[in-house]
Structures are given as structure tokens and as C-alpha cells.
Amino acid sequence: MKQLKIHLPVKDIPRQWYNVLPSLPKPLPEAKDPKGDFSPIELMKKIRPRSLQEQDAAPNKWITIPEDVLDKYLKIGRPTLLQRAVNLEKYLKTPAKIFFKREDLLPTGSFKLNTSIAQAFYAKEEKFEGLISETGAGQWGTAVCVSAKLYDLQAQIFMARISYEQKLYRRYYMKLYGGDVYPSPSTKTAAGRKMLDDRPGHPGSIGTGISEAVETAANYNGKFAYVSGSNLPHVLLHQTVIGLETMKQMKLISEKPDILIACVGGGSNLGGFFLPFFEEKMKKPGSITFLAAESTAVPRLTKGTYRYDAGDSSGLTPLTKSYTLGQDFIPPEIHIGGLRQHSGSPIIGLLRHEGLLDAVAFDQTDIFEAGRLFSICEGILPAPESCHAISAAIKVALEAKEEGKERTIVFCLSGSGFFDLEGYRQILLSDKKKDVYAHA
Amino acid sequence: MKQLKIHLPVKDIPRQWYNVLPSLPKPLPEAKDPKGDFSPIELMKKIRPRSLQEQDAAPNKWITIPEDVLDKYLKIGRPTLLQRAVNLEKYLKTPAKIFFKREDLLPTGSFKLNTSIAQAFYAKEEKFEGLISETGAGQWGTAVCVSAKLYDLQAQIFMARISYEQKLYRRYYMKLYGGDVYPSPSTKTAAGRKMLDDRPGHPGSIGTGISEAVETAANYNGKFAYVSGSNLPHVLLHQTVIGLETMKQMKLISEKPDILIACVGGGSNLGGFFLPFFEEKMKKPGSITFLAAESTAVPRLTKGTYRYDAGDSSGLTPLTKSYTLGQDFIPPEIHIGGLRQHSGSPIIGLLRHEGLLDAVAFDQTDIFEAGRLFSICEGILPAPESCHAISAAIKVALEAKEEGKERTIVFCLSGSGFFDLEGYRQILLSDKKKDVYAHA
């Protein structure tokens, strides 16, 4: 029997996060305030834990993971498995080896806990009484509520109203851990009330959630720490535990990746997975390809522009430079494949701009089909976001077959699809699509 | 850092199932036909794979797991983890060690795949074209559809109508793997049509599903194999892979269980987990306690009678001897904690009757609270069925504390709660219950 699962012993869990900032080919463009009197930069200084702000500009390559965060990492099941997709390889008849990192195995079903735990730790240390944030579909909100509970903090989550009403399980999950979950726009904030006045029955979005969470954090005057699940350097930093483990696991079996693949929304899964390999890539150009998989419905990296833009729709957050589709961009309503952000991480934007990151886009029918094929081959039902990475891995594996090349592909399985069966149904089951992988 | 996770190397995966039949203290009471002309025993002979019928009366203690089933076991992630609940121990301030076997990590979120894969293998080998079965909440039906897909077989599932309408995710999950899922009672069978005539809008049950599945299998005349997810000796046999792995994992860390705990419905999780330890228990009486955790709403082992009874409500299955609440027993409508079967496995019944199996019952508020505590301590959201085992483990750990005794508790975490958040909500969130474990 082949070795399918590569365990990293508990004693080998990474004890430092990797900070790419000092090794970037150019300095990261700094955040800016928009025109006018209001300074989002000053506001953020007040409502974000100071340690996290410091990490956003840390000069050191390695940052020690606090002992207590390490303990929590063990508690949630880190190190996670690295697994080889031998059945998918066989189905594709590819000479490529396909490995995948199992972040879907974390307790909330996604990789988000890696940073929410760290953020809760620092918030607690700095005497905040709770965490406040926004969530779209609920992966991030769940991670925040679980992490808050681990540190005996309160949690308030503004959840896009449409998800609040449709994704009941995610909402219950957050409440189970004691989180207060509000549909956004809500009547709890001035911003929310204005949005509801302007548009009764407003469906909400991550953007409306950010506005309400930020306003609430500001009003509570230091009681609640405002935390974010993507984009920011400290979020990518905490997520490097994924790539660092993967690196050790590949060494354990004497394999070297030719290409690393991850899906990209805000960029924290991708950053956390790729960045630890960055210096190796720079030392030997062409040695490792970084490939980002995004959605054709939200084609940030493949069709966006590299420029300053706001992270939310109401101008409460600082302007940052990255690839963007514009702050007014709204994904088509039929798009349910996740990765909906109009803009993303400045670090990822810089890498892309410098030609160090490839990108490919897939439409949602293709990604759900890829997810189904993967689940049939490997038995694991992936989240729609992760299906983008799977689509890219399949594409590369088929190209390797075409060229008769052995390639070592490693992708990140960022989350479980257990909460996304409605999406699978809408795309694959409702319209009598033929089962293209019927006999996988 | 403590060792929390005990991996069994792939090469050490059990290669034989353990068959308890030759070692039972008394012969297993044989199945009987009910009064009248119709012989369920003869019918079952025609619609069940022959290999499985032979396994139900196998004389050998060890039965080789077919190479292809072993490969599929690896594919679904076996061997599964054994984990230590250090955070729960700390919360309870108990001197007891608590270990748990992670069957929740299997791809469909429950232990059911261990037998559905084996049954699909034999059905395929015996040239059946498909599998047919019933399902209540959907765990078993999902496992059947996934296994059928793995062996390129068709799948037909009769799902209790009320679950069909309410547990949409489970239904989509089955359809995603190409299964045909019908709400039972349906208009597809004579039995279903009669039930709908007698009671329009009939909510259905596992019992109605059995009747329709059996009738359909009989009508297809050997095309579809009728398969079952619990009760029968071959089902428990296949599930012994759980206990066999656990035994090896405990040896790896030089630990010996004082008490094994599992939830009990039909009895396959419990049987699969306990039985491999049976001979050790018999050699040294008092050395290992077997504890079954059931629901006060369906108190089979704690309040039922040991006698012959039918497994379904319409008399299409043979009579078997076990503990039963009577074939007309219907759990209270408010009961959503699973484990609803009125009767169970003859092997488990015999062990209980011979005084070799202890049993304890918990009500559903307690088990969901235990599940919440566990999820807060260990980060893993358990299925309601598994919450019964957790409740029992907590009870034993607190008794150990009371007595100042070190005890080694091992329980089976049979499934994930990701599909059961509605149940958690109904019991814990909707009625403003206070959070008794607020600061775990």
C-alpha cells in the first residue's frame, strides 16, 4: 500500500511564524487615508490590538508563536495532515504527483482558526473584553466565536443579512459558542439604520458588516477588539503555519514541490500556504511556481488593476494597494462559489505585480464539478473556495500528462464542503446537468 | 507538550475483521419467521448478498478483509486517529484519562462507511447492479451512496419523508454521489401507496423505509442488493476495524482501557468498538467494563425486554432476539437526539442479557449540553448520537474524581455534528437555556 497520509509529529509543529515583509523585493506600499477629514488609519489604531498592528510592519523574519497559541493549535488538531491524492492521479492518468494540505480537518471546517486564535490571544493579553467582526458566509465568524470562547472573550458578529437568513447552520454554530450574531444591515448602528432607510430589506454584504462592526468597536471605546479574517499582513503571518508544516512534511518524504496552488479571495489562505516557500523560490528562479486560483465571476488577479482602493464599500477602512475590481464591484448574484472580495492582500498584490505569482480563473460550474470529482476520488467533500484550487491542480496535472512530465503539485484544501451542499445542489443537481465524471 | 493524537501507521491497519460469534458465552439465538405463510427469512436470502449472509453465521474468529476493501479503507482515511481529551480532563478536574476514537473524521462524517464499503464490495462481486436501503436522518444513506459510487453501483435510498423534507443537506449529499433518493412513504411501492392512502402526509420512519426498500429489492429480482446499516452480525463484524485499531493504538502508548464507552442505537458502533476487546474481558473478569450509552427517550437496554421482535413495523424482516421496546414503540416527537430504533443487535442483546454489558441513559438536553462542553474543550462538534457516549464518559470521569481513582476511559466519537446544528439549536439555543458550561 502506498503512503497516502503524511503526519507531522506534534513535537515538530512550527514554533515561529514566517514574516515575508523583510524579504519582499520592494517595500510594501503603505496604507493611506482617503481624502477628507476622517482618518480610518487613526480609527484602526484605536480598535485593533496593538500587537497585531506591530506585526503588520514587523522587521523580523521570524516571529515566535506564543506558547499559549501553540497549545491551542494542538487543541484544534495541528499539525494537519498532508495527503496524496492517489485516486485522483489514477483517474486523471497523470504522471504528476498531487499532494494536498488538509486544513478542512480543523474543527470549524476551515483554515480560519489559525489566525482567529492568535488574534484572540493578543486581544485578551491587551485586556479587550471581546472580539467584533463581520462575516459573509460564516467561516470567519465561526472561527472568531470559537476562538473568543477559548479565551473567555465575548464575540459580536455582523453577518450579511442574506447569509444570516439562508446559512442557518453557520449562524447556530456561532451562537453555540456564545457569539452574538446580528444580520447586517442591522438597526444597532447608525450605518446600518441608514442602509435600511435607503434600501428596506437590504441583503447586506461583507462591506455592510465591516461598516457596522467598525462603528460598534469605535463606540465601545476599547472594549471590543475589531479583528479581520483576511488581507492584512498579520493574518497572512499567522496562516504561514500551513506552509511551514507543508514544507516539513514534504521534506519528511523527500519530495519537493514544483508548483503550489491555493484559492484566492482576500489572500490569507494563499499567503499562508505559499510564503514560507518564498525564499526558496527567490534563490532559484523558476524552481517553484506559485499559482492562485480565483473565480471568473470575481477576477481580481486576472482582470483587476493594481492600485489603491478601499477594503469596504463605506470608506471606513484605510486605502491599500493591491489588485482590485473597484470598491463598487458586486459579483453576479448567481455566483455562489465564494471568494467574492473586490480587492485583496497588499502582499499578494505586490507579488503578482512583480511577476512572482501566476493566476488562473474558473467558473462556478467547473469548480463544483471538480469538487464532485475530488469527493468521488478522495472521499472528501471540499468547500467551493477550495474547489478552485482543485480545478487548478487538475488543470496542471492534465498539462503534465499532455507533456509527459512528472510534476509535483501541492495544493491547499482550505475548507470542508459540509456547510455548502446547497451550493452543490444549485449548480450540479437542480438543472439536470449531466454527471461528467460519472465513472470516476 | 503532551501527546494528544495517536496515529496508527498505515502499514498497521487491521487486515482481518474480528468475529465474536465463536467466542460468545451462548450460541446466538437464531432468526425466526413470524406466524403465517410469508417467510421474511426466505425473502432476505434472495435480496441480500450471499457473502454477507455467510458472515452472519461465520465459524471463524478472524475474517480476512478483502484487499480492495482495505484499499478503500485507506482511501477514506483509515486508520482514524485516537485522541486524548486533555482539555476536557482539565475542565472536569478528573484524575481519569479520557481517550476518544475519531470516527467523525471519515469523509461522510460518521462511522457508517466501514460497513457500507464492505457491503458494496460483496454486492459488486456477486454481480448486483445496485444497492438499495432505507435511511432515517441520512448518515447511513449517505454512506451507501458514497460506497455505491466507489464500486460503480447504482443506489436507491428510501428516506423517512420528514427527514427528506427537513434534512436537505443530507439529501443533496446523497444525490451528489448519484444516489436516487425517495421520500418514504412514496408512491413507488405498494407498501408506500397503502401507507399514504391510510394516512395522507405520512411523516415516514426507518420502518416505512425498510418496507419500501425490501419490496423494491424483491421486485427487481436480484438486480439490487438490499443492505442494512446496523443490527446484523456482518455489520458489527465490519465495524470491528474501529476497535481493532483502538486496541493497537492503546498498545502504542502502553495504555490499557478500564472502560470502553459507545452510544447504542442498533448496536453497530458499540459492537464494532467493544467486541475486539471481548476476549480480554472474558479472560480476566472485571478487567474491562463495556458501557452502552442510550437515550432516556428510547431506553432499549435500560428498560426494554429481552425477547423476539421484528426489526421493522410492517413485518417484512425476520424476528430476532434482543432488547426491545416493542415494534410499535414510537419515540416522543420532541426527541431529536438520534438512536431511535425500538430494537437492536442480537449480539449486543445477548451480551447485555449475560451481564457483560452495562448501560446508562441520558436525556437529550443533557447530551446536547455535553456535546457543547466537548466542542468547547476539544474544538470538535459531535453528532447527537456521539453526545451520549460523551455524557457517559463525563459521568465516569466525575465518579473517578469522587473516588480519587485513576481510570482510563476510551469512548467512540461515532460522528460529526456538522449536519445536526438544527438539533443543537432546538435544544440549546431556542429556549434561552443558560449556558451551564459558560466558562469551560
Question: Are A139 and A112 within 8 A, CB to CB?
Answer: yes
CA distances from A402 to A96, A98, A198, A266, B223 (A): 11, 16, 55, 33, 40
Report pLDDT digits (tens) over B232-254: 999 999 999 999 999 999 999 99
In this prediction, residue A434 carries a pLDDT of 47
DSSP string, A237-296: HHHHHHHHHHHHHHHHTT---SEEEEE-SSSHHHHHHHGGGHHHHHHSTTSSEEEEEEET
**Dist CA A341 CA A339 (whole Å):** 6
Residue ranges of B 66-95 with Cβ closer than 8 A to chain A: 70-71, 74-77, 87
Interchain CB distance below 8 Å, A429 and B152: no
**Dist CA B429 CA A268 (whole Å):** 32
CA distances from A147 to A116, A177, A415, B166 (A): 6, 9, 17, 30
pTM of the model: 0.91
Q: Please check the confidence at residue B285 and state whether its pLDDT lies above 90.
A: no
Report pLDDT digits (tens) over A61-72: 999 999 999 999
Q: What angle do helix axes B67-75 and B139-150 make, rounded to 10 degrees?
A: 120
Min CA distance, A109 vs chain B (Å)?
9
> Which long-range CB contacts under 8 A does A87-90 form with residues at least 24 apart?
A87/A377, A87/A378, A87/B75, A88/A373, A88/A374, A88/A377, A88/A378, A88/A394, A88/A397, A89/A397, A90/A377
ipTM of the complex: 0.85
Name the residue of chain A whose CA is nearest to B169's CA: A421
> Of B11, B177, B379, which is closest to A376 when you measure between CB atoms?
B177
The grid coordinates listed for B123 are 454486492
In this prediction, residue A438 carries a pLDDT of 39
> Of B13, B375, B421, which is closest to A172 when you measure between CB atoms?
B421
What's the burial of A46, exposed, middle or buried (CB within 10 Å: 0-12/13-18/19+)?
Answer: exposed
Residue ranges of A 255-274 with Cβ closer than 8 A to chain B: none
**Dist CA A290 CA A41 (whole Å):** 31
DSSP string, B395-436: HHHHHHHHHT---EEEEEE-BBSTT-HHHHIIIIITT----T
**Dist CA B119 CA B234 (whole Å):** 9
In this prediction, residue B436 carries a pLDDT of 42
Q: Coil, strand or helix: which one is B95?
A: coil
Contact partners, residue A125, CB within 8 Å, separation at least 6: A49, A51
| A169 and chain B in contact, CB less than 8 A | yes
In this prediction, residue A340 carries a pLDDT of 82
**Dist CA A305 CA A324 (whole Å):** 5
User: Can you give A111-136 as a three-state secondary structure string?
Assistant: CCHHHHHHHHHHHHHCCCCEEEEEEC
Helices (H) and strands (E) in chain B, counts: 18, 15
Tell me which residue of B174, B207, B208, B205 sits closest to B193, measured CA to CA: B208
Report pLDDT digits (tens) over A79-112: 999 999 999 999 999 999 999 999 999 999 999 9
Min CA distance, B236 vs chain A (Å)?
22
Phi-psi region of B122 (alpha: psi -120 to 50; beta: other; left: phi over 0): alpha
CA distances from A396 to A95, A290, A371, A406 (A): 11, 12, 16, 11
> Which long-range CB contacts under 8 A does B72-75 form with residues at least 24 apart?
B72/B117, B72/B121, B72/B147, B72/B150, B73/B13, B73/B114, B73/B117, B73/B241, B74/A1, B74/A4, B74/B10, B74/B13, B75/A4, B75/A87, B75/A378, B75/A379, B75/B150
In this prediction, residue B386 carries a pLDDT of 97
CA distances from A126 to A40, A122, B24, B68 (A): 21, 6, 62, 56
Name the residue of chain B whose CA is nearest to A83's CA: B77
Report pLDDT digits (tens) over B97-115: 999 999 999 999 999 999 9
Sort strands B82-84 and B97-102 into parallel, antiparallel or unpaired: antiparallel
Residue pairs spanning A and B at CB distance below 8 A: 118
Single-letter amino acid, residue A264 = V
> Of A149, A168, A435, which is closest to B178 when you measure between CB atoms?
A435
| A431 and chain B in contact, CB less than 8 A | no
Tell me the chain B residues in contact with residue A417 when contact means C-beta distances shorter than 8 Å. none
If one looks up domain A5-11+67-109+233-429 in CATH, what number appears? 3.40.50.1100
H/E segment holding residue B154:
strand B154-160
Question: Are A418 and A265 within 8 A, CB to CB?
Answer: no
| Residues pairing with B292 in the sheet | B262, B359
| B437 and chain A in contact, CB less than 8 A | no
> Which long-range CB contacts under 8 A does A68-74 form with residues at least 24 apart?
A68/A121, A69/A117, A69/A118, A69/A121, A70/A13, A70/A15, A70/B1, A71/B1, A72/A117, A72/A121, A72/A147, A72/A150, A73/A13, A73/A114, A73/A117, A73/A241, A74/A10, A74/A13, A74/B1, A74/B4
In this prediction, residue B145 carries a pLDDT of 96
**Dist CA B99 CA B116 (whole Å):** 26
Min CA distance, B75 vs chain A (Å)?
6
Share of chain A above pLDDT 70, in %: 97
Q: Coil, strand or helix: which one is A153?
A: coil
Interchain CB distance below 8 Å, B429 and A175: yes
Interchain CB distance below 8 Å, A375 and B177: yes
Residue ranges of B 286-315 with Cβ closer than 8 A to chain A: none
Vertex A381, ends A380 and A382: CA angle to 5°?
A: 110
Domain ranges within chain A, ordered by starting residue: 5-11+67-109+233-429
**Dist CA B309 CA A335 (whole Å):** 53
Report pLDDT digits (tens) over A233-292: 999 999 999 999 999 999 999 999 999 999 999 999 999 999 999 999 999 988 999 999
Higher pLDDT, A376 or A155: A155
Tell me the chain A residues in contact with residue B143 when contact means C-beta distances shorter than 8 Å. none
Of A246-260, A301-315, B40-54, give the lowest mean pLDDT range.
A301-315
| B379 and chain A in contact, CB less than 8 A | yes
**Dist CA A429 CA A369 (whole Å):** 11
Question: Are B22 and B83 within 8 A, CB to CB?
Answer: no
**Dist CA A147 CA A143 (whole Å):** 6
Name the residue of chain B whose CA is nearest to A12's CA: B1
Question: Are A243 and A274 within 8 A, CB to CB?
Answer: yes
CA distances from A385 to A270, A382, B221 (A): 11, 8, 44
Mean pLDDT, residues B327-354? 86
Cα A43 from chain centre: 25
Interchain CB distance below 8 Å, B418 and A419: yes
In this prediction, residue B431 carries a pLDDT of 53
The grid coordinates listed for A103 are 486544513
Interchain CB distance below 8 Å, B425 and A175: yes
Interchain CB distance below 8 Å, B175 and A425: yes
In this prediction, residue A2 carries a pLDDT of 57
